Structure 1
Amino acid sequence: MRNVVEAGRFDPFKVHWLEAQGDFRFLADPFGLWHDGALIVLAEAYDYRTCKGVIEAFVLDNDFRILERRVVLDEPWHLSYPFLIEEGGDIWMLPEAHRSGRLTLYRAVDFPWKWERSADFSFPCAAIDASPVRFGTQWWMFYTPPFPKEGRQETLKIARADSLFGPWEDLSPLPVRRDRGSARMGGTPLIVEGSLILPMQDCTQSYGGGLTLLQTPLPLNASPVWEIRSSLAPLAQWSPFTDGAHTLSQAGEVTLIDAKRMRKAPLRRLALEAGRALRSAWAE
């Protein structure tokens, strides 16, 4: 990821894509780390037929071939953005789950296949795309608040704690940034040459339309001064995935990204919506 940040563009680097998901489904928000010689990637697996995401894990070898994959976290609510943290000898996941009404931290009981909720973790709100980073003895959390709904693509807030588990303190009642092009988190915070770099979603044209690299000098404070370092857009050679780039995260020397294509199929969409309505009526 550092190489991409320093280059400020995608084109010098070769991309290896995971296999397509099939109709009515997509993968997004990849986060990963190396474990026992394999690259473990966790991602949101979304199904339009259920309007709900679950978290899938992928085990990849050194040639990025999938050795194993399966759903590892499925809740009654939508899940996405499975941010991974190594802390205290354990591996933790902090997925986006604002429809549950809270932000929940999970500990890996058997990484990456089995997870349990941490009863010790608490956060002031059901933060969206929460991305923690530690500097010295303090933890900082960058996130988007769940309300108001119209601000979910353009609002950034910061909280601080002495421990990953909290208590977390919101540093200001007001957002530290409002900008549809660079205020919602989109990946792993990174320190480069005395500055904190945040990958942010650029939603000016569409949700997940691109990425903006935001930076602020260290040490951090409650009122950071932000500067746009560069913008990252999908490349023509990524075809057909040229309609957006949504997440940039680090897994050792590997950089994880997601890209999208938009397919207009009105008849299939009508059939999908009719099927959902029929299932809902049957359930009632």
Structure 2
Amino acid sequence: MKKIGIILQSSFCNKYLYKALEILSASDKVKIFFLINQEDAIHKGSLSRVQETTVNEHNKTRFFDTLVFKLIINIEYAILSFFDKSIKGLREKQSIQSLIKNEVTYLVPIHSASGQVVRYSDEEIDTIKKLELDVLIIGNGSENFEGEIFNYAKEGIVSIQHTDIRWNRGGLPVFWEVYFRYPSAGFVILRQTKKNDYNQILFRGDIAITSTYTKSLIKLYSRSYFYMAELILNFAKNGHLPLPEESLPFGGKLLRIPSIYHTFNYFLKTSSLLIYNAIERNVLKKETRWSVAFCSKSWRNSTLNEGIRIKNPPDHFFADPFVAKRNGRTVCFVEDFSFRQNNGCIAAIEILNEKEYRILGPIIEEPFHMSYPFVFEYKQDLYMIPETSGAKSIRLYKCIEFPLKWEYQKEILSGGHFVDPMILNHNGLWFILTNTEDEKLIAYYSHDPINGIWVEHEKDPLIFDLNTSRNGGLLRDEDGSYVRCRQKFGFNTYGAALTMAKIIDLSPNSYMEQEICQISPDFFPKLIGCHHMHSNGETTVFDYLRVENLK
């Protein structure tokens, strides 16, 4: 059992850190010891610690910058939480009393003149030493440590930095990403070293940015603290922390609290976007809506702007197309999403010739949402593994009578939110490449895709990057090699573009791919996204996104 110390600023913490502590506390692999800094016991319930920059650290200009920023963000928080009560969770504080199983250690930190560096007296260091900790976690503080404390946690001091330090150092979490309309915001889990400029990055993650600072901050906190807990549980299981990334030079400028100009500019841009979206949806009755098109060519020879567009039924959209040909019939299987029911099923569209098609209608319907109808052949039978993450499984269906009759066979994986799963055969093994709910790419392998046991890939997650991890279809070259299509995120946009990467190494303990091209959503008028492509060598199908009426 590993001994984990948690340094907190009081016996209260935000709900996202609390959930991570709850996960650790429930594990029989770790023993939790809380260390509480007494001088910070009075809890402030507004913004994050990074936001609560004290006035004496700024000149008068910075003081007014901070004041205006807090005012605007409080207004945003009030408006958003009025319409969505879950937003209030950002400022909820929860007591750790129910998680305490061992005696709490109370400490009095000694701060440097800047307030950014902390050390403890020899007496308190001796108290920490007696705990014989394996890892010491900085729970909700932002300080760097110095002194003997580094000697009394066997694997070091671990903390979360809620920014992507490759470019955002010193800035607020997610604010500048939202301000500059970036598609994602990052965080890192660090191991502090005695030389604070050389902290080691143990884990890097990111989130998709939403339209506002407040909502993006919620996503960032929820994701980052969860991964902190996961990292510690993996440490307890494997006996070692992840290998750190190699250090790289930093050439950017340090970011600070936004100026009054930046704050008001953010407010104007964000409020304009929200008002525009509200008018578009509630007055003009428009929605972002996927559609599907096809070309009667191989994927490498397709010219997408010559594609034949398949008209969506009223109040529906088609997306995630996969194509198969059997008995002389070419059929495109799609997600058929109903706006009215807020649910998707699997439908079939027969491609009659280079220009004509016929919508055959739904072929698989379940009480949960279905999408991404990936099809594959095995021993001359046709199978499908649509996304059924709502059922927390990957479900296998067999085609009994092409293309309309399918029968459910079994769950081949269960117990997780498997998103956009695909099956491929490589070097005598079958592999599932699937995404998780948080956009990681993971894999399983088996000797038999129907009756075999699926084993988790040794290198999971294979990829954890919003711009490259999410599946968007699978293609094959003439030499039999695979090309994985990958969805790209945009600012507040899912499926902004599509990239393609050739899989150059795939085994139970390795994975490597190399990007070969990118597809941007400019092949038809007024597009705002595209996120999927598939081909059977004769027909290529793809989807695209635009804002339109639901007629």
Interval of TM-score (by shorter of Structure 1 and Structure 2): 0.7 to 0.9
Match of 2:309 among 17, 22, 25: 17
Per the TM alignment, residue 77 of structure 1 is displaced from its structure 2 partner at its CA by: 0.3
Query: Equivalent residue for 1:168?
Result: 454
Match of 1:123 among 402, 413, 422: 413
Query: Equivalent residue for 1:202?
Result: 488
Per the TM alignment, residue 191 of structure 1 is displaced from its structure 2 partner at its CA by: 4.4
In 1, are the aligned partners of 2:533 and 2:542 still within 8 Å (CA)? yes
Query: Equivalent residue for 2:470?
Result: 184
Per the TM alignment, residue 102 of structure 1 is displaced from its structure 2 partner at its CA by: 1.2
Higher strand residue share: 1
In 1, are the aligned partners of 2:299 and 2:535 still within 8 Å (CA)? no
TM-score, normalising length: structure 2: 0.43
User: What is the identity percentage for the equivalent residue pairs of Structure 1 and Structure 2?
Assistant: 23
Instruction: Provide Cα deviations, 1:66-105, integer angstroms capped at 9, x if missing partner.
Output: 2451110110000000001111121111100110121100
Instruction: Provide Cα deviations, 1:210-254, integer angstroms capped at 9, x if missing partner.
Output: 111123324545232333222111225x114x1111111013311
Q: CA–CA distance in 2 between the matches of 1:122 and 1:221?
A: 18
Match of 2:503 among 176, 201, 216: 216
Q: CA–CA distance in 2 between the matches of 1:26 and 1:196?
A: 28
Query: Equivalent residue for 1:281?
Result: none
Q: CA–CA distance in 2 between the matches of 1:216 and 1:37?
A: 30
In 2, are the aligned partners of 1:180 and 1:204 still within 8 Å (CA)? no
In 1, are the aligned partners of 2:332 and 2:349 still within 8 Å (CA)? yes
What amino acid is aligned across from residue 16 of structure 1 in structure 2? I
Cα distance 1:180–1:63, how it changes in 2: closer, same or farther (>3 A)?
A: same
Give the match's secondary structure for 1:188: strand
Query: Equivalent residue for 1:247?
Result: 532
Query: Equivalent residue for 2:331?
Result: 40
Query: Equivalent residue for 2:428?
Result: 137
Match of 1:227 among 497, 514, 521: 514
What amino acid is aligned across from residue 327 of structure 2 in structure 1? D
Q: CA–CA distance in 1 between the matches of 2:425 and 2:457?
A: 16
What amino acid is aligned across from residue 522 of structure 2 in structure 1? L
Q: CA–CA distance in 1 between the matches of 2:481 and 2:321?
A: 24
What amino acid is aligned across from residue 222 of structure 1 in structure 2? N
Q: CA–CA distance in 1 between the matches of 2:365 and 2:317?
A: 16
What amino acid is aligned across from residue 434 of structure 2 in structure 1? Y
- Greater displacement, 248-257 / 223-232: 223-232
Cα distance 1:227–1:55, how it changes in 2: closer, same or farther (>3 A)?
A: same
Q: CA–CA distance in 2 between the matches of 1:44 and 1:51?
A: 12
In 2, are the aligned partners of 1:196 and 1:218 still within 8 Å (CA)? no
TM-score, normalising length: structure 1: 0.80
In our comparison, the structure showing a higher alpha carbon Rg is 2
Q: CA–CA distance in 2 between the matches of 1:18 and 1:101?
A: 31
What amino acid is aligned across from residue 217 of structure 1 in structure 2? I
What amino acid is aligned across from residue 21 of structure 1 in structure 2? P
Give the match's secondary structure for 1:123: strand
Per the TM alignment, residue 14 of structure 1 is displaced from its structure 2 partner at its CA by: 2.2
- Greater displacement, 13-22 / 137-146: 13-22
Per the TM alignment, residue 12 of structure 1 is displaced from its structure 2 partner at its CA by: 7.0
Structure 1 vs Structure 2 CA RMSD: 2.5
Query: Equivalent residue for 1:159?
Result: 444
Cα distance 1:216–1:58, how it changes in 2: closer, same or farther (>3 A)?
A: closer
- Greater displacement, 60-69 / 226-235: 60-69
- Greater displacement, 214-223 / 109-118: 214-223
Query: Equivalent residue for 2:546?
Result: 261
1:112 correspondence with 2:398? no
Cα distance 1:12–1:92, how it changes in 2: closer, same or farther (>3 A)?
A: closer
Q: 5+ residue gaps in structure 2?
A: 1-294
Give the match's secondary structure for 1:215: strand
Q: 5+ residue gaps in structure 1?
A: 269-284
Cα distance 1:190–1:221, how it changes in 2: closer, same or farther (>3 A)?
A: farther
Q: CA–CA distance in 2 between the matches of 1:94 and 1:130?
A: 7
Cα distance 1:144–1:36, how it changes in 2: closer, same or farther (>3 A)?
A: same
What amino acid is aligned across from residue 59 of structure 1 in structure 2? E
Cα distance 1:11–1:113, how it changes in 2: closer, same or farther (>3 A)?
A: closer
In 1, are the aligned partners of 2:457 and 2:508 still within 8 Å (CA)? no
Higher helix residue share: 2
Q: CA–CA distance in 2 between the matches of 1:167 and 1:130?
A: 16
Length, aligned pairs only = 252
What amino acid is aligned across from residue 223 of structure 1 in structure 2? S
Query: Equivalent residue for 1:278?
Result: none
Q: CA–CA distance in 1 between the matches of 2:504 and 2:377?
A: 24
Per the TM alignment, residue 4 of structure 1 is displaced from its structure 2 partner at its CA by: 4.0
Q: CA–CA distance in 2 between the matches of 1:28 and 1:107?
A: 21
Q: CA–CA distance in 2 between the matches of 1:57 and 1:164?
A: 24
Cα distance 1:222–1:234, how it changes in 2: closer, same or farther (>3 A)?
A: same
Give the match's secondary structure for 1:246: coil
What amino acid is aligned across from residue 458 of structure 2 in structure 1? S
Q: CA–CA distance in 1 between the matches of 2:357 and 2:298?
A: 25
Give the match's secondary structure for 2:412: coil
In 2, are the aligned partners of 1:39 and 1:61 still within 8 Å (CA)? yes
Query: Equivalent residue for 2:123?
Result: none
